[in-house]
A = this chain, B = another copy of it.
């Protein structure tokens, strides 16, 4: 009886600490997690990575970024992402006037959901990128995709845009885990 209870205790502890990262179905597709209960990293409005004119100033979109909780806690401790880290990027429409709001923008419907996964066994390039659209499952973009090249060339920590997540930028700066290429570019700006 005592052994059984200890086993149960260990099970509770384990389920609280792991298993909150990426899940793949039998066909190897990434399945949509309950990311709205994950840890929030930051939001942008109308962020534009190509030429500034490519944005739509009349209908800017919000992007909200979430990460699985156990990886967040590991990053706060070490400034690095453990294997099986998963990011979710949620893109939403914005509204202007509405209810008591007379200026600025607030969030409305989901436009699409994207994800990034670190899985060293599954992906030779370590990080892979996924577009869920409005669906519940997604396949990885090829390793040669523009997602992979842009993240590996411009991200502040490993392949992740920590430069846009103020709470994590503080951690990475303190733990000295910023990518050297990012540090060199920032110094030149």
Residue of B nearest to A165 (CB): B107
Q: Which one of B102, B105, B161, B185 contacts A49 once the chains associate, using CB atoms below 8 Å?
A: B102
Interfacial chain B residues near A8, Cβ < 8 Å: 9
Q: Quick check: A166 and B103 within 8 Å, CB to CB? A: no
Interfacial chain B residues near A46, Cβ < 8 Å: 103-105
Interfacial chain B residues near A43, Cβ < 8 Å: 43, 62, 64, 106-107
Interfacial chain B residues near A106, Cβ < 8 Å: 42-44, 47, 164
Is A79 in contact with chain B by the CB < 8 A criterion?
Answer: no
Q: Quick check: A105 and B45 within 8 Å, CB to CB? A: yes
A43 CB to closest chain B CB (Å) equals 4
Q: Quick check: A104 and B60 within 8 Å, CB to CB? A: yes
Is A58 in contact with chain B by the CB < 8 A criterion?
Answer: no
19 of the cross-chain contacts (CB-CB < 8 Å) are: A2-B2, A5-B5, A5-B9, A9-B9, A36-B40, A36-B167, A40-B64, A42-B106, A43-B106, A46-B104, A48-B101, A48-B102, A51-B102, A55-B103, A99-B156, A99-B161, A106-B164, A107-B164, A108-B166
